[in-house]
Amino acid sequence: MAEARAALRGDRTLAYATLAPSVFLLLLLAGVPTITVFSTAMQDIGMGDMSGPYVGFENFAWALTSEAFYTALRNTFVWVFGSVALEMALGLGLALLLNKTFMFRGVARAIILAPYLVPTVVAVLVWRYMFHDIVGIINAGLLSIGIIDKPLLWLNSQSLAMLSVILVGVWKFFPFVVIALLGILQSIPQEQYEAAKIDGASSFQQFWRITLPYVMPVFLLTALLRTIWSFHKFEIIYLMTGGGPLDATTTLPILVYLKAFTDFEFGRGAAVAILTFAILVIFLGLYFALIKRAEDRQ
């Protein structure tokens, strides 16, 4: 017994020693920037300054009482939930379709997955051209079928700019949802569907009773990942609109950039970044609770 315990302690020591370099590197890469951001948020730091006067929670107080912060927060919710909802709905529908057997299914999969492989800068440049009010193909198509009677200013209208960037985000990232859901769909035992057909279950009943319970944990996990990535997504919105017109598409990451690198108020930018992180942590907790609940139902 003593020899077994000694061997177990030796294995644990070896395991800890093996993991120690990775843990140290992770703490170094994640911990140092985090501490730096917190330190910056407590100071009044300008452009080119290594440090500044200590102001405590003054930058946080500014953020929580600033109209710009709440406008950016509202825009962030619209961007995140609008794009993620459309991505999940479109991704699930196409995954169910691609899970069927039909001619040229491989070609269809390749076409659907293509947007995810296009570099973001290239995608944005193409979509900016398509949204152009005079030479853009979107206005030309809508005019030709009579839906609109004059060109729309997609990227220069406060009412349409957010819709435009959401559509670009959905087009760019819905293939990720298709990949994730198609994998779990192909792992569902076909015997369950055959038994359900023998029992007289309709297609909807098969989806509701068999497909959905299997898919739900992966569906929620995919939604969680897309929420995290969309919440701090910067390049699509900035390259499409720069946060405008006015502040119609200014999300929290855009606000952090504007405060830090346009207004040169690094302390306020860091405070907004920390508040963004705190909001995201709350949503992570909600998603994990939903995922755990879905797994318990299986």
The full set of domains in the chain, from first to last, is: 67-123+152-297 (1.10.3720.10)
- Tell me the percentage of the chain whose pLDDT exceeds 90: 40
- The mean of the pLDDT values for the chain is 86
Q: How confident is the model at residue 294 (pLDDT cuts 50, 70, 90)?
A: low
> Of 85, 86, 77, 27, whose CA–CA distance to 283 is shortest?
77
- pTM score, two decimals? 0.85
Share above pLDDT 70 across residues of the chain, in percent, rounded to a whole number = 93
Q: Judge contact between 45 and 51, C-beta under 8 A.
A: yes
Distance of CA 51 to the CA centre of its chain: 33
Which pLDDT score, from 0 to 100, does residue 155 have? Answer: 92
Asked whether residue 84 carries a pLDDT value surpassing 90, the answer given is yes
Position of tokens 């598409």?
249
| Model pLDDT, residue 206 | 83
CA 121 to centroid of chain Cα atoms? 17
Q: Locate tokens 């900016």: which residue?
A: 128
